[in-house]
Structure 1
């Protein structure tokens, strides 16, 4: 939509769902309005494509972001996955990882309090989306090591956070 692109370029602040839709449109990401207060988009990350859902809670002036990396945690790994979640969440300043009890889906969740006017700036929208994807990318390998690499929680986290030195 050209109106979304124009709004993104001209508006300082907008209603949260509209601002995010305009941002997604400008980035060329296919998005879908789930309802008046919810938008969904698939965003490419370093390791996988993430489904991101943004839900606007008008009554609380909160925009909730859910970033789902399409990782399911089976019952046999649930206890160690929660242990890993606790270690990861200790390192986060914004948001947290969780596992939905129904279906065992891993997700990153973050809520933004937008104030009485309920407006979202383009800078805040970009920062929130980039932060969610960045945290999912940062810890995705830890879940892979735990779920499919048969590593324990500490070992999986340590292996995932090893930074490469230099350039290839």
Structure 2
């Protein structure tokens, strides 16, 4: 753990990137702070390893959190993938899925507007990370059913939701 990460461990609130880095360090997850405004790491989910990224925009007091499940969408599958995205996003309360035009990569994105103090609490950081991983785990099978199993978007979502409901 780097000194910068240690200094925020015991505090309730910290600058967003520092708090997330401290959380990753506490959980033993690899992460890299690429600048004062950005960090990235990798976490093993139920289905795959997910790349996590946080980007802080101080001028807007917004923390953007991304989770990339390493799914690329081929051109011939885009129409069905976008239809599935629409169905999936209807199910979500926080964040949304999208296909990043730079590389046709599926991603989960959630923006958090922080208060005037521009600080992130440990509870907020944990919720942000856990929600991103949970949503990627929940919908990963649906995307695989469409992209690799040639299911229709509705059938893929229905099958994924039945599978998820049956997990213990």
Tell me whether the two structures share a fold, i.e. TM-score over 0.5.
Answer: yes
Q: Which runs of 5+ in 2 are unaligned?
A: none
- Normalized per residue, the structure richer in helix is 2
The Cα RMSD (Å) is 1.2
- TM-score normalized with structure 1 length: 0.95
Instruction: Please identify runs of 4+ aligned residues in structure 1 that moved more than 6 A.
Output: none
Structure 1 residue 2 displacement after superposition: 6.0
1:53-132 map, 5 Å: 53-132=53-132
Which of 150, 155, 166 is residue 164 of structure 1 equivalent to? 166
Number of matched residues? 165
Gaps of 5+ in 1: none
The aligned runs of 1:8-27 (5 Å cut-off) are 8=9, 10-27=10-27
| Separation of aligned partners in 2, 1:157 and 1:2 | 42
Q: Normalized against structure 2, the TM-score is what? A: 0.95
Q: Secondary structure at the match of 1:59?
A: helix
Alignment deviations for residues 41-96 of structure 1 (CA, whole Å, 9 cap, x no partner): 00110000100000000000000001000000011000110000000000100000
